[in-house]
Chains A and B, each alone.
Chain A
Amino acid sequence: MTMLLELDHISKIYGDLKAVDDLSLTVPAGEWLAIVGSSGSGKTTLMNMIGCMDTPSKGSVKLEGRKLEDLNATQLADVRKNMIGLVFQKFYLVPHLTAVENVMVAQYYHSVVDEKEALAALDRVGLKDRAHHLPGQLSGGEQQRVCVARALINCPKIILADEPTGNLDEKNEKIVLDLFRQLHEQGTTIIVVTHDALVASCAEREIMLNHGVLVGEKWNDEAARAAYEAQGGKPASTGSDAEDAQRGETAIGFADPTKAAKTGGEAA
């Protein structure tokens, strides 16, 4: 079986600190995975390694069977622009470019700029009429939707979203999650880093990190779990000897993290 993403005993070590400790994880194409944990648990570090923006100190990351540690900076940049769409908590839109230009920037670095396509992407996130506004003239929710439009414009295989609803109110949070849901239904692999229970519960599968160590895994969609296991997929695991670590091939369930109160009935 070929997984889209394979993490094989990866660690990220800063001096004495293990930001990610010996994690193994496989993600098939089309899965919606949430990486949950409190601040400082190593979620973003893990996402950076998956997104080719950081390299593990130990272990190996494979995307479509290709080992990332064998690639140079230019090849990693190529992988980023061809395979990955990024959505950030702080949006990171270029402040002096309009919404449509921000989407076109991703096209510019990817291949060929096509304004109509960029406008269509903004239309998809419900922002066609705000296409020629600067980020400063948009609300937080609108900026995040531009960010989503930018992430999906090049039809990436994986969308990596780091706290995509962290700065949004509930209404905009729902809009963004609906967008992710649509993308997922179209077969896009989504990996969301969050400490928001509502966002996490939208995913098919959740893994939980605590101080860089995998401490739990649970499935929100049993059908997806069955399909995963049918493909030969195994639970995530860690070689860490930390207490509560999820070692071996048995998933350890966990309670929803913070903001659990928000989940009430809205989860997918």
Chain B
Amino acid sequence: MTNTGMFFRMLFSAVFRRRSRAAMAVVASLVGSATLFCLAMICIAVPQQMNQEMRAYGANLIVTPTASTGDKAGIEDAMVEHTSEMVAAKGTAKHATYRYENVRVNAAPYVMAGVNPDDVENLNHHWSVDGDWPSEGKVLVGRDVADAVGLKVGSAIKIAYRASDNASGASSDAASGDSAGSSASSSASASPSASASPSQQMQDGRVSSDIMDTSGTDFRVAGIVDTGGSEDSIIYATDDDVTKLTGSTRGADVIEYSVDLSGEGLSDLVDSINGMTSMHVKAQQVTKITSSDTRIITMLQTLFWIVSLVVLVLTLVGVGTTISSIVSQRRNEIGLRKALGASSKSIGVEFYAESAVYGLVGGLLGTGVGYGFALVLTTTVFQRSLDFNWWLAAASVVLSMLVAVIASVPPVHRATRIDPAVVLREE
């Protein structure tokens, strides 16, 4: 047997032949490790999931053409792609484009949005849609529009487009950054008001009009959307249908992004887009969602980290006290080893290794137990699923070993200064 073999034999004997003492140290490490791992899992996973879920409540960034574009060209597809690449470079993002046009239903003016239904659905999980999303020849109408016109799912609707309604720059106003930005919650909210002249009166989500021309293109109502917001006053159709209706092709008036950023990261992204003046687009944060999102997550994280810190300190004290007690009980053994010629360093290494084993065993068990607790907590309290985080588990085990070793430094340091004569002095 080599000296290394003897080292591990002594280590094994100290841990496994002194089970009751070892169990105390392992349990102390286990409790600390389980609590820390459980808190860390929740601390990382829950805010992360909340962030993802908040992203489902719509956009936190909108991009509109700058006023300098002046015409109704909107944001060309290539520019949409370019902007999306810029956003994607900073974080995971979903987006949807909106092309707004003023249309008439039963001669009354409404706002119609040309969209890619899949993108909009993907971006706005919170929309309550009765029926289906728009498809060719079928539109999705807002709840206010449906109530005003008396529409149900499957009803026929005749929509007319008049170039004169859109010639005054109303649409471009609707899609302008000013109106979109001021709405904060959604860029589209400003569109209906923007489509009406200041002198006109709003009634039931439409504008009173004396124009009685009811001609137009026939569509079917695929579904009715109810968000409680400005979306309820808009008619949504596919981009192709809007192009057919208007007889013209043009870019989007608004791009909405739900990007996995908050706080400074989002501000930096906005600044970087706005800094590219050659793109002729203007980016703005949807501040309500972003700030509340950030605030809640920051509060949660701060709370969890404070609790984790307290637990870490308590663990250190608990493990330290336990190991200190174990070392104290072995003063005679340490004195004997020194009397046999052991250096303080070699005794220190033996005891630190033993503490690390306690930390390792406690850490492994504690991480498993902690995951169990975290799973129960996230399922019952937060109603969320929880995947096992291997990196965090490894960190938890390493931390547990570190805490055990650090906690053993003072008692081991004291022990290695034991005068070997104390062993012989006990007559």
Contacts and interface: CB of A to CB of B under 8 A. Distances in A.
Contact of B1 (A53, A80, A113): A113
Given A74-B343, A92-B332, A44 B427 contact: yes
A3 interface: no
B1 A44 contact: no
Interface in A95-141: 95-97, 101, 104-110, 112-115, 134
Interface stretch (B26-34, B114-122, B187-195, B417-425): B417-425
Kindly name the residue among B7, B14, B18, B425 whose own CB sees the greatest number of chain A CB atoms within 10 A: B425
A27 interface: no
B402 interface: no
A238 B420 CA distance: 27
Q: Give the bracket for the number of chain A residues in contact with chain B.
A: 35 or more
Contact of A47 (B337, B420, B424, B426): B424
Given A53-B420, A54-B421, A106-B340, A89 B427 contact: yes
Interface string B398-427: 000000000000000000000111011111
B6 interface: yes
A90 B13 contact: no
A77 B333 contact: no
Contact of B337 (A54, A73, A89, A105): A105
A96 B13 contact: yes
A81 interface: yes
B338 interface: yes
B339 interface: yes
| Size class of the contact patch on chain B | 20 to 34
Given A105-B10, A112-B3, A134-B17, A44 B424 contact: yes
B392 interface: no
B5 interface: yes
A95 B1 CA distance: 21
Interface in A147-164: 150, 162-163
Contacts of B420: 53, 80
A109 B346 contact: yes
Contacts of B17: 96-97, 134
A53 B421 CA distance: 5
B384 interface: no
Interface in A28-68: 39, 44, 47-48, 51, 53-54
6 contacts: A39-B427, A77-B342, A92-B332, A92-B336, A110-B340, A112-B3
Interface of A: 39, 44, 47-48, 51, 53-54, 73-74, 77-78, 80-82, 86, 88-90, 92, 94-97, 101, 104-110, 112-115, 134, 150, 162-163
Given A77-B342, A81-B340, A109-B340, 16 more contacts: A44-B424, A53-B424, A74-B343, A78-B341, A80-B339, A88-B423, A92-B333, A92-B336, A94-B333, A95-B333, A97-B13, A101-B13, A108-B3, A108-B6, A110-B341, A113-B5
